[in-house]
Amino acid sequence: MFSVFSPQYFRRLLTVLLSLTAILSAEAQLSQTVSVLPPYSNKLSDYIASPGKINSIITVNGIDYPKFEIYLHGMIVSADESVIIRTKADYKPSAPIVINPVQLPDSRFFPPYSLTYSDILGIFDERHLEYKGITREQVMQEGLPEGSYMICFDLIDYPTGKYYTSSCSNPFYLSSVEAPIIIQPMNNISLREHETKNVVFSWTRPPNAPIATQYKLKIIELNSPNENYQDKIRSAGYPVFFETSVTGNVYLYSAANPQLIEGKTYAFVVEAIDPTGKTPFKNKGFSEVNIFTYAPSEQTPMSGTLPGGIPSGGGVPKVKLSMPAITATTPPHFEATQLKGTLKYSYHEEQNKTYPMGNAKIRLVTKYIVKYADGTINEKMTRQKWDDQYIDGEKVAVTTTDNNGDFSFTFLSGSSGEPLEDTDCDVYHILQYNRSGSKNEILLADWPFDPQKGGPNPENSAISSVSESHGADACKLYLAYAIEIQGEHTDYYLNPDQDVKYFFEVKAGETKEIGEVISWVKTVNLNVTVQSLSKDITTINSDLTLPDMDVYVYRKINFAYPPVFPQNDVTPEKTGNFPAPQAQGMQDMVCVGKGLTNKEGVAEIKSLVLSDNSLYQYYIYIRNDKGNYNYESDAARLVDFKALIDNVSGGMVNPYPYSNLLMVKSANSFFSGNDAVGNHRPVRMTLSMPAKFPTLRIILTEKAGNRQISHPQTQVTLKEEYESGYYLYKPNQTGTFDVGQL
């Protein structure tokens, strides 16, 4: 299509004359595929020294070369490129890898070449490696940090040093298994004499730990609970009171073991050990260190601290409102409790589509909820912040989801599921109004109220506050739990608190299946306004806006995306439904969606992942394939979220600047309610397009076989011929057009 109106609107017949000035020859090309077999260890040596762990095939396309002499540089690199271990740039082996052709009677070909175990050892010889973001000693002692990694190779011509190609494996994720969590004895507990005869030590089995995992129980003796037992129990030089290894998660300490001494304090720790050495455990497999004391006979027993905000001195915390304080004389009963489910994620704009959130660090935290007498949750009160006695967000347990998003929390609980106390069913905004000045009379007015003449309480009459329709004292406070996203997933996913159904109650000793838990991706919507750059060029539109323009959304691929990055971002359309343009400078980009401008010239693009990671930037490219004018982007334009979000017109202050949006962790805060940051969308972006004259694209093919001709010396000659036709020109004085024939 023509992009501008011109005095000459003729039909043009173009005759293409081809002149081939060179003989085409087949050019050899090398390509390589790389794959890494599971399981994925954090030990570098497991990849290099394990035959068959890394598989790579080199394919030769072309037959004009007698042989190929090559060498390779290798690299293992994290997704954010914070950790890189690679062959030194100046390293060249003493001998090349030689790929020879196979000669047939009337032809020859190069068979695929697979890197051998010896090749891998040579490429990753530690004498020729360099480290970025980590030291060799850290790799040897601690292994690779958690995260997503790829193994890559550079294929280099041995005689000339020319780089043929670079290839990488698919990303694979390294995660450490959680360390054991001690169930009993509780930390800081005091045991009476008869309780020391048979002491049960128990701990959790970490999810995803091998069946053959061994657990080493180590006990040291202290003179005082105030000693630095954390360092002493790790010290090889400090005397060990008792030590044993078992394959289960329980050990009964009985009279057959060394006798505990009255008045002494003991520290103990449990270490998880994989006999094969292939499983990395967090904290090197060590649990937290607990202590207990063999109490003298006159000392009051059983005081300790527990996770999850539950006092160990009583089953019910101290009450604020209507119940008297409770002093416990009987030790509460604490049991191992489990909460199981599947963590998935979805987009706010497409909540019917869910995807598993695999290998994600998550933690279970306290969440105090308010319920009506009928058992339904009072969301307004539940989302209030309570006082220091009831603190939301206290860590109870931590775990990591598996590849399918399945998770299991195991923790110690003494919760009976009974209410903690009575509370109001609404938050009241109270106005004190007391003209009489009486110390015993406080005049109250509920808010909201309909103001009357003379104020809300004109006659000094006392107004009492009452609860909502459920009646006075109808609501009670309960202990529940919520899930929070941890680690690198917090860059893209929000805590699943958008619905009160994700606040879970569970009683002590219970194993509860909670089903699917949905986390929303942190996204924004983008409205792209497309208009003509210049008013001097008249388009078929009556104004500058350009309807029916295809707005393509790309992501720049500086590196392959790690598994933590959300899949299927950007709506409405995906790459598979249309051919995406690939203009100059866009070779390292992938198209992830497309929109179409409406009659106002605005394309609505939804579900763009909000992130400050420079590797995952979005770009916009615009062109028109079916319209009556020819506009196309000169280059892909960066979607600069920071500039677009913070640039509020009219001198207004943006209540939700870019930096604040990045820090939001709550789905409820981001998307729900009148004050939610997610309601202050979409982000608006305006792009002005230069008009382009028609471009003729010619594809040359051989006469027989339709083989495309791409030799750089091929010449194309265009010959212009004219035929009779019609043309248009400006209206005459009567306001009509005269149509003439050429």
CATH number at residue 111: 2.60.40
The rounded distance, in Å, linking the Cα atoms of 290 and 287 is 9
State whether 589 and 644 are in the same domain: yes
Return the number of other C-beta atoms located less than 10 Å from residue 222's C-beta. 18
Q: What is the pLDDT of residues 58-112, one digit of tens each?
A: 998 766 678 889 999 999 999 888 899 999 999 999 999 999 988 888 778 888 9
Single out the residue of 414, 411, 416 nearest to residue 396, CA to CA.
Answer: 411
- Write down the pLDDT at residue 684: 84
Domain final residue, candidates 227, 262, 294: 294
- Residue 122 predicted with pLDDT over 80: yes
DSSP letter for 382, please: H
Q: What is the pLDDT of residues 568-608, one digit of tens each?
A: 888 776 655 667 777 767 777 888 888 899 988 899 999 99
- Write down the pLDDT at residue 735: 58
Q: Is residue 301 part of a domain?
A: no
| Pairing mode of beta strands 189-191, 290-294 | parallel
State whether 165 and 216 are in the same domain: no
Residues 653, 658, 661, 663, CA torsion sign: negative
pLDDT, average across residues 459-464: 41
Q: Is residue 395 part of a domain?
A: yes
Q: Is 186 helix (H, G, I), strand (E, B) or coil?
A: coil
- Write down the pLDDT at residue 454: 38
State whether 395 and 248 are in the same domain: no
- Residue 676 predicted with pLDDT over 80: no
State whether 479 and 359 are in the same domain: yes
Question: What one-letter code names the amino acid at 677?
Answer: V
State whether 49 and 92 are in the same domain: yes
Size (the chain), residues:
742
The rounded distance, in Å, linking the Cα atoms of 208 and 361 is 13
* E runs forming strands in 534-628: 550-556, 589-596, 602-609, 618-623
State whether 640 and 569 are in the same domain: yes
CA atoms within 13 A on the CB side of 734: 3
* E runs forming strands in 463-549: 475-485, 511-520, 523-532
Q: Confidence band (pLDDT; 50, 70, 90) for 535?
A: low
pLDDT, average across residues 402-424: 88
Peptide bond into 682 cis (omega under 30): yes
Q: Is residue 725 part of a domain?
A: no
Lowest-pLDDT range of 115-124, 198-207, 510-519? 198-207
Q: Is 428 helix (H, G, I), strand (E, B) or coil?
A: coil
CB 700 within 8 A of CB 708: yes
State whether 227 and 357 are in the same domain: no
- Write down the pLDDT at residue 214: 96
- Residue 741 predicted with pLDDT over 50: no
State whether 109 and 199 are in the same domain: no
Who's near 607: CB < 8 A, 6+ residues apart? 347, 348, 349, 350, 521, 523, 525, 569, 570, 571
> Dmax over Cα atoms in the chain, in whole Å?
119
Question: What one-letter code names the amino acid at 299?
Answer: Q
The rounded distance, in Å, linking the Cα atoms of 93 and 118 is 13
Domain final residue, candidates 482, 504, 520: 520
- Write down the pLDDT at residue 427: 61
Domain that holds residue 240: 182-294
Based on its alpha-carbon atoms, the radius of gyration of the chain, rounded to whole angstroms, reads 36
State whether 368 and 482 are in the same domain: yes
Beta sheet of 550-556, edge-to-edge order = 589-596, 550-556, 618-623, 637-638
Lowest-pLDDT range of 145-159, 314-328, 361-375? 314-328
The rounded distance, in Å, linking the Cα atoms of 266 and 222 is 6
Mean pLDDT of the chain: 78
pLDDT, average across residues 651-673: 77
Q: Is residue 714 part of a domain?
A: no
Domain final residue, candidates 174, 203, 227: 174
State whether 147 and 49 are in the same domain: yes
pLDDT, average across residues 170-178: 86
The CATH number given to whatever domain includes residue 385 is 2.60.40.10
Q: Is 432 helix (H, G, I), strand (E, B) or coil?
A: coil
State whether 682 and 560 are in the same domain: yes
Q: Confidence band (pLDDT; 50, 70, 90) for 681?
A: low
CA atoms within 13 A on the CB side of 186: 24
Q: Is residue 63 part of a domain?
A: yes
Q: State which H helix or E strand residue 58 sits in.
A: strand 54-61
| Pairing mode of beta strands 29-36, 54-61 | antiparallel
Domains contained in the chain, number: 5
- Write down the pLDDT at residue 389: 78
Q: Is residue 11 part of a domain?
A: no
Question: What one-letter code names the amino acid at 321?
Answer: L
Q: Is residue 549 part of a domain?
A: yes
- Residue 326 predicted with pLDDT over 50: no
pTM equals: 0.55
Q: Is residue 170 part of a domain?
A: yes
Q: What percent of the chain has pLDDT over 90?
A: 32
State whether 621 and 541 are in the same domain: yes
The rounded distance, in Å, linking the Cα atoms of 559 and 148 is 11
- Write down the pLDDT at residue 513: 94
